[in-house]
Amino acid sequence: MKVYVGVTDSEWFRYLSLRLNTDEVNFWLPSPLNLMTQLHPGDLFLFKLKHPRNVIAGGGYFARSIVMPVSYAWKAFEDKNGAPTLERLRANILRLRQRAQVEWSDFQIGCILLAQPFFFSEKDWFPVPSSWASNIVRGRYYDTGEPDGKYLWDEVRFRLAGMQQERTLVEEVRDEDPKRRWIIMRPGQGIFRSAVAAAYGWKCSVTGEKVLPALEAAHIKPFADQGPNVVQNGLLLRADIHKLLDDGYVTVSPDYHFKVSRKVREDYENGRDYYALHDQQLRLPKHPVERPSQDFIAWHNRERFRA
Range from 85-94, 123-132, 184-193, 297-306 carrying the lowest mean pLDDT: 184-193
Residue 96's pLDDT is 84
Residue 101's pLDDT is 53
Of 121, 153, 183, which residue constitutes the final position of a domain?
183
Residue 170's pLDDT is 40
Residue 52's pLDDT is 82
Same domain? 250 vs 135? no
Same domain? 10 vs 110? yes
Question: Is residue 218 in a domain?
Answer: yes
Task: State in Å, rounded, how far the first CA of the chain is from the last one.
Answer: 48
- State pLDDT tens for residues 212-251: 999 999 999 999 999 999 999 999 999 999 999 999 999 9
- State pLDDT tens for residues 51-95: 888 999 999 999 999 999 999 999 999 999 999 999 999 999 988
For residue 103, pLDDT over 70 is answered with no
Residue 171's pLDDT is 41
Query: 80 lies in which domain range?
Result: 2-183
CA angle 242, 23, 147 (to 5 degrees): 130
Same domain? 173 vs 289? no
The crossing angle, in degrees rounded to 10, of helices 189-199 and 70-77 is 140
For residue 277, pLDDT over 90 is answered with yes
301 burial level (CB within 10 Å; 0-12, 13-18, 19+) = middle
Question: Is residue 188 in a domain?
Answer: no
Residue 163's pLDDT is 77
Question: Is residue 192 in a domain?
Answer: no
Pairing mode, strands 2-8 and 44-49 = parallel
Question: Is residue 193 in a domain?
Answer: no
Range from 131-140, 172-181, 279-288 carrying the lowest mean pLDDT: 172-181
DSSP for 205-226 reads TTT----GGGEEEEESS-GGGT
Q: Give me the mean pLDDT over the 126-154 stretch.
A: 93
Question: Is residue 16 in a domain?
Answer: yes
In sequence order, the 6+-apart residues with CB closer than 8 A to the CB of 31 are: 97, 98, 109, 110
Same domain? 69 vs 145? yes
Helix (H/G/I), strand (E/B), else coil: 188: coil
Cα–Cα distance between 271 and 274 in angstroms, integer? 5
Same domain? 84 vs 7? yes
Q: Give me the mean pLDDT over the 12-28 stretch.
A: 93
Same domain? 110 vs 239? no
Mean pLDDT of the chain: 89
Question: Is residue 267 in a domain?
Answer: yes
Q: Give me the mean pLDDT over the 250-274 stretch.
A: 96
Q: Which of 126, 131, 127, 158 is nearest to 143 (CA)?
A: 131
For residue 146, pLDDT over 80 is answered with yes
For residue 98, pLDDT over 90 is answered with no
Same domain? 115 vs 223? no
Residue 271's pLDDT is 92
Question: Is residue 41 in a domain?
Answer: yes
Same domain? 175 vs 215? no
Q: What's the domain count of the chain?
A: 2
Same domain? 107 vs 217? no
Give 31's pLDDT tier (boundaries 50, 70, 90).
Answer: confident
CATH classification at residue 97: 2.30.130.30
Q: Give me the mean pLDDT over the 21-49 stretch.
A: 89
- State pLDDT tens for residues 151-202: 999 999 999 987 754 434 444 433 333 333 434 456 799 999 999 999 999 9
Of 183, 208, 227, which residue constitutes the final position of a domain?
183
Is-contact 23 118, C-beta < 8 A?
A: no
Residue 167's pLDDT is 38
For residue 25, pLDDT over 70 is answered with yes
Same domain? 91 vs 131? yes
Question: Is residue 137 in a domain?
Answer: yes
Of 183, 217, 252, which residue constitutes the final position of a domain?
183
Same domain? 156 vs 235? no
Same domain? 236 vs 285? yes
Give 20's pLDDT tier (boundaries 50, 70, 90).
Answer: confident
Q: Which of 133, 167, 154, 151 is nearest to 54 (CA)?
A: 133
Q: Give me the mean pLDDT over the 117-125 stretch.
A: 95
